[in-house]
Structure 1
């Protein structure tokens, strides 16, 4: 097991063990999933074929955000299990119910990655700068009030604010547990 995978396992275990104790006060949901790194659904370029593990914590929406459809603040990370780019992110997430069971979900925020910023290599694209924008979208199904599964897509890029902007798009499945 490499260092990234070990770190991810430790953080994930800590989040899932500690989250229930704090859930009633400010955590609304935890998510974990597996992503296709630099998904070939959108282009031919792959950093690596090693999958990503994604984890995310969503917090209760503060009252002052009610005017914006009550988005929930979030923090998360997508860790590549090989030598590809990993990143942490934070932002706001909106969830809209389509039916009692089906929902759509959107996020917008920022990310910081550990990939290349000056040149492309065999295991990393050239992202141009360390700070990036991060957005995601999901379509999900709730089994009950606490458990859901979703198909997700996430994208990280700098919106051409830096000289290079190769971007990274991952697709995958995630499980959500709501408190």
Structure 2
């Protein structure tokens, strides 16, 4: 199921960016998962590919298209996302970034189909984030420090939620903090 969502997102971003976009940056990270509710404690491993901004996005401050994945090391919710990332320099080496996108997850939507006293329902409700939808919005803010011309380290916060738009009813959402190492391919 996660492969189908990842494939759909990859096709969406590739079609939107067209042949203009080149791989601009690759990041790997370690993410503290579900830091607000703690239903799904445990680290995630993240991978993100950012592409150069295609010319048609110049009207909206030239964001970079991205593909993102956050994968559970504990058997909990995995997420893949695609969207746009805007960044700006505070200093020559310090960069800030904000991004918006859509994600697909293999987590638990809800447990309403199970009887209230069912032991499985009780265990799932206590140990899993009940997200209300397979599709969630992803918003992220972060900062990166350029150690060299090519290598950067950074930290970020991200929020996944359907906002009662991509789903209805249950919306426990996920909040995550991460650290990342990035490699810039451009000059």
Normalized against structure 1, the TM-score is what? 0.81
Q: Report the Cα offset of residue 48 of structure 1.
A: 3.0
From 30, 38, 43, give the equivalent of 2:34: 38
Q: Report the Cα offset of residue 145 of structure 1.
A: 1.7
Q: Is the CA contact 2:71–2:79 (under 8 Å) kept in the aligned structure 1? A: yes
- Alignment-derived partner of residue 129 in structure 2: 125
Runs (4 or more) in structure 1 with deviation over 4 Å come to none
Correspondence list, 1:15-164, <5 A = 26-39=22-35, 43=36, 45-119=37-111, 121-161=125-165, 162-164=168-170
Gaps of at least 5 residues in structure 1 are 8-24
Find the residue that maps to 2:39 and give its secondary structure.
coil
Find the residue that maps to 2:125 and give its secondary structure.
coil
Number of equivalenced pairs:
153
Whole-angstrom distance in 2 between the partners of 1:54 and 1:29: 14
Q: Report the Cα offset of residue 152 of structure 1.
A: 0.7
Whole-angstrom distance in 1 between the partners of 2:26 and 2:161: 24
Which region of structure 1 is more displaced relative to structure 2, 120-129 or 108-117?
Answer: 120-129
Normalized against structure 2, the TM-score is what? 0.77
Q: Which has the greater radius of gyration?
A: 2
Q: Report the Cα offset of residue 122 of structure 1.
A: 3.9
Q: Is the CA contact 1:50–1:82 (under 8 Å) kept in the aligned structure 2? A: yes
